[in-house]
Amino acid sequence: MSGEAKLAPSLDELVRTKRILVCCGAGGVGKTTTATALAIAAARAGRRVLALTVDPSKRLSDTLGVAQNLEAPAPPPADRLAAAGISAPGSLEAWMLDPKLIADRLVRRFSRGEAEAERLMQNRVYRQMTRMVAGMQEYTAMEALYGFVQEGRHDLVVLDTPPARNALDFLEGPGKITEFLEGRVFRLFLPDENAGLIARGAAQLVGKALGAALGDDNYRELQSFFAAFAEVFRRGGANAQAMRKALSDPEVTSFVLVTAPTSVAISDVLYFRERAEEMRLPFGGFVLNRSQAREDARAMPDPSLLPEGASEVQRRAYAKLAAMAEVERAEVARDRALLADLSARAGDRGFALALPSLAGGADDIASLVLLASAVVES
């Protein structure tokens, strides 16, 4: 054995060996795209993969041909799998859940008509409930994630995290739900046989007021809803611990931090790294998405192309091209510098990989396969 520090595994290696990969990053940097590309790369390499997202994008659903909010994960149709170059023993399934949609649906179910739904959504208790249901979806996804890992039907689960919020928060979801369950508002709602006289009196008062506001039937339904979920979460407490443990285990899990080549996205991703470290979540590395860092084979205009005695029009056209090429060159140089910086920050603890910016976007199978190949070549 040499005394050198062991180099961190490349993203390709992680895709081939880990059981859970979590993609985190700021809004719009390409988390969903990267997560899907990683899932495809792993399935192409022969692994049985589940792509799990609590940020369902309509685009992804269309691209993969898998509907959102299904009861259970489902594979894309055979022609998409073939187009993605996925064949046995490799396989791919996707599960896309939209927490907000499910919460809204629940609220609508508890109400008669649109006007009442609107009124209910303004209600403080309902807002609490919706928040809980949103947290519950994350919790459900987390529990599902753990269930899938335990079950062993998949070799790898790739988890994409939701947009526009701190993506690491969802890891604290179970804790937040426990807090909520123990909160005063929630307890007033539960039909608690053992409650003291005062608590029961208060609950009755709240019950009366809510019964009047929501209608007695609605109120009772809501109460049984709370009671049912309280039970589910109480039972789930032990799993939450085990899940957290699996997510913290570097043998099992790697966090892939995705960023775009902008200074805002980069500072966000560095913050994620810090948070992940504080939370003792295993750092896999950085993905610099939509980057030009690898664009070294690009044709650039060359003044010798200009014919002898070129016309004024030709010369002006060339000057325009040259100016555009200069901008591109500057972008390539900027992205290379960013990649070098990320690489230095990752040190020997993680990878730093650039994924190309595809001119036509990344919303079809062919583009995702291109990105998946870029992972493998890393």
From the list 25-33, 124-132, 179-187, 273-281, the region that binds Mg ion by CB under 5 A is 25-33
Q: How far apart are CA 35 and CA 64, in angstroms?
A: 13
From the list 53-61, 232-240, 295-303, 343-351, the region that binds Mg ion by CB under 5 A is 53-61
Binding site for ligand ATP (CB under 6 A): 25, 27-33, 55, 57, 163, 289-290, 355, 357-358, 361-363, 371
Q: In this chain, which of 15, 23, 51, 55 binds Mg ion, going by CB under 5 A? A: 55
From the list 52-60, 84-92, 242-250, 319-327, the region that binds Mg ion by CB under 5 A is 52-60
Min dist CB 354 to ligand ATP, Å, is 10
Nearer to ligand ATP, 65 or 215 (CB): 65
Give backbone dihedrals phi and psi of 323, rounded to 5 degrees, phi first.
-65, -45
Min dist CB 33 to Mg ion, Å, is 8
Q: In angstroms, what CA-CA distances link 189 with 178, 199, 215, 221? A: 15, 10, 15, 11
Q: Are 347 and 322 in contact (CB under 8 A)?
A: no
Q: Hey, CA dihedral for 361, 365, 366, 371, is it positive or negative?
A: positive
Whether the link from the prior residue into 89 is cis, omega within 30° of 0, is: yes
Nearer to Mg ion, 26 or 246 (CB): 26
Min dist CB 68 to Mg ion, Å, is 13
Tokens representing 275 are: 């948070």
Min dist CB 162 to Mg ion, Å, is 7
Min dist CB 259 to ligand ATP, Å, is 10
Min dist CB 46 to ligand ATP, Å, is 24
Nearer to Mg ion, 129 or 288 (CB): 288
From the list 51-59, 61-69, 85-93, 165-173, the region that binds Mg ion by CB under 5 A is 51-59
Q: How far apart are CA 253 and CA 18, in angstroms?
A: 6
Q: How far apart are CA 351 and CA 287, in angstroms?
A: 8
Min dist CB 49 to Mg ion, Å, is 18
Nearer to ligand ATP, 12 or 160 (CB): 160
Residue 161 contact partner, candidates Mg ion, ligand ATP, none, CB within 5 to 8 A by sort of partner = none
Min dist CB 199 to Mg ion, Å, is 43
Alpha helices in 84-172 (DSSP H): 99-109, 113-122, 124-151
Residue 357 contact partner, candidates ligand ATP, Mg ion, none, CB within 5 to 8 A by sort of partner = ligand ATP
Q: Binding to Mg ion by residue 32, rule CB under 5 A?
A: yes
Looking at beta carbons, which residue is closest to Mg ion? Answer: 32
Angle between helices 113-122 and 99-109 (to 10 degrees): 120
Q: Are 19 and 153 in contact (CB under 8 A)?
A: no
Q: Are 350 and 341 in contact (CB under 8 A)?
A: no
Nearer to ligand ATP, 81 or 355 (CB): 355
Q: H or E segment at 277?
A: helix 263-278
Q: Are 349 and 6 in contact (CB under 8 A)?
A: no
Q: Are 55 and 32 in contact (CB under 8 A)?
A: yes
Q: H or E segment at 255?
A: strand 253-259
Nearer to ligand ATP, 35 or 247 (CB): 35
> Which residues contact Mg ion by CB under 5 A?
31-32, 55
